[in-house]
Amino acid sequence: MSDTIVYVLALDLSADEARVRRAEIEQWLTGEGLFVRNPSHVRPRDSGEFLAGPTAEGRITDEWLNGRYEADILCTRDAYTAYELFEPPPCPGCGSPLDLERFHELLHAWRQDAEPSATCGDCGAGALLGDWGWEFGAYVAELAVAFENWPELRDDFVAELGRRLGGRPRTIMCRY
């Protein structure tokens, strides 16, 4: 059985802005009872820093099962990808997929520096790589909220979280 993570992330934040926003997001999520501290969290990647809190059930669309739903608020520049679900991004103009090799070159450049633009080989439309929006792709961000193995999140909750994150929010579904 594979694990699924939904990342809600902010593309345009600097490292300093991300640190400030992370504290605000943590205060909101824990204050609203959506997240509670995970008592078994010792080191990053041992387990999620947070568990689903008492009000989290109201933020999902599916049946709430008595599972162990973990979460993290990640404040580090990284490429967040869909892994097994990955698909090349569709052109924002015509929908044609970006060449996979070109996409990997651009993603590598983005990890090292500023977000690059991509140009569609079919229609010539150009846009920042993060604006080639798709749920099963990859983005580089300084701040992301990760929901591990949660039931499907409600759209209004994801939109509110994205608004609070700021910085061109995006959502990725990852399976590994």
- Asked if 147 and 17 count as a contact pair (C-beta separation under 8 A), the reply is no
The residue extents of the domains of the chain are 4-81+135-175, 88-133
| Topology of the domain comprising 4-81+135-175 | Alpha-Beta Plaits (3.30.70)
Cβ-in-10-Å burial (0-12, 13-18, 19+) of 41 comes to middle
pLDDT band at 42 (very low <50, low <70, confident <90, very high): low
Residue 46 has a pLDDT of: 61
Pick from 72, 57, 62, 56: nearest CA to 9: 72
The confidence score (pLDDT) of residue 109 equals 95
Quick one: pLDDT band at residue 74, thresholds 50, 70, 90? very high
Residue 1's pLDDT band (cuts 50, 70, 90): low
Query: Among candidates 119, 133, 122, which has minimal Cα distance to 9?
Result: 133
pLDDT for 67 equals: 72
Q: Tens of pLDDT along 130-153?
A: 998 787 889 999 999 999 999 899
CB atoms < 10 A from the CB of 86, how many? 17
Instruction: Note if the pTM is more than 0.85.
Output: yes
Amino acid at 123: C
Q: Whole-number mean pLDDT of the chain?
A: 90
